[in-house]
Structure 1
């Protein structure tokens, strides 16, 4: 692949996304992504607190989700669970994911849509865990009963969901496909709770993409009908 061909591919794949991010950054700088910056601060705070002898049970009570928990309790804890770093992963990974992916999404989609997509993706993973355990380990979509006690926190499901939605929204289809393929390979290599939750998040976000596409198609159809309507006679 020559440099010119590569350049054209990069512009076609990421050009629209780059222009959206650049425009928001030029206009408002860090104020274009206050939720992402706040999320990074919240992750830092929860990391410090949960490493204290007195703070660990507090963070667990407020933001640790397990499939064995009552559903109402898991739903209450899910919003904060996005910003509680997973104990078996480095905190810098969660910080980078939120700053970069949440920041780009917030600049392009706005804070409210970003938050909704992130929550839907995370909630899909949370609910899938219960379904997977009910199906059992013998089912290809199932999980072992021991996963009911696994603490499920971190922004990874939300990050994967946002990456897929951004890829669809701004025409970066190869990037979105690579993200999806990466999650499929992850599950193929190690069919653990986190990997399957990522796939559940992707499915939920793809449904959101389909709904948004239908709404856009209907809006364009209504706009075309309005522009082609005969003028009203006075």
Structure 2
């Protein structure tokens, strides 16, 4: 038990400390949960379904500009074939932790980068076609409505794991997404992997920039 406790403190301690030090009501997350709840209620009304589709439904077959305009709201439109409580729980937990630790601005930036990566990948996958291993998608995938927070949640989880050195947790998330694609190579699973790749690029750029800034400061100190 002591070994498990020490491991848990090592793995999640930095994140827990960040939450304790910066604790505040995650207003953006609460707003996101409320928005998702309202959209779920509206899209289940006779008159509301098409309204929500017109404002927030994204498909690979849609014109790119239209898809980009709908992407911000699409993140908060729950998938009709999945229980809404799952989307709400994901937003509340992962968005909430991210907002407390990273701030609402960075949280939204990472979330939308991950979501946009999935949206753009769908177009690339359909264009490549099913004959291209791993990356390709069947033409029917272009008609799938692509909404919900899952890609953003995966991206934020990986980013938080990197930022607070919860590398085992981050590795488990990545492995789970890879297994999902291996077991069921559908659009959603591949979009999750695309989200991870996008966050990996963000992390790589940040690491590179941090090293450059550090080298400049060191050089300036030596010169001074």
Q: TM-score range by the shorter chain?
A: over 0.9
In structure 1, the residue matched to 2:155 is: 161
**SS of corresponding position for 2:22:** helix
Report the counterpart of residue 48 of structure 1 in structure 2: 41
For the aligned residue pairs, the C-alpha RMSD in angstroms reads 0.9
Q: Distance in 2 between matches of 1:43 and 1:58?
A: 14
Provide the residue aligned with 2:172 in structure 1: 178
Tell me which residue corresponds to 1:9.
Answer: 7
* Mapping for residues 1-234 of structure 1, pairs under 5 Å: 3-25=1-23, 28=24, 30=25, 33-140=26-133, 141-230=135-224
After TM superposition, give the deviation of residue 4 of structure 1 in Å.
1.8
Which structure would you say has the larger Rg?
1
Q: So what's the TM-score if we normalise by structure 2?
A: 0.97
In structure 2, list runs of 5 or more residues that go unmatched. Answer: none
- Superposed displacement of residue 105, structure 1: 0.5
User: Which stretch of the first structure deviates more once superposed, 5-14 or 47-56?
Assistant: 5-14
> How far did residue 165 of structure 1 move?
0.6
Could you tell me how far 1:11 is from its partner in structure 2?
1.2
Deviations 1:130-166 (A, max 9, x none): 0000111111210000011000000000000000011
Give per-residue Cα distances to partners, 1:205-232, cap 9 Å, x unaligned: 00000011111112222232333333xx
Q: Partners of 2:221 and 2:167 in 1: how far apart? A: 31
> Which segments of 5 or more consecutive residues in structure 1 lack a partner in the other structure?
none
Query: Residues of 2 paired with 1:22 and 1:40: CA distance?
Result: 22
- The secondary structure found in structure 2 opposite 1:98 is helix
Paired residue total: 223
- The 3-state SS of whatever aligns with 2:223 is coil
Q: Deviations over 1:75-101 (max 9, x none)?
A: 000000000000111000000001100
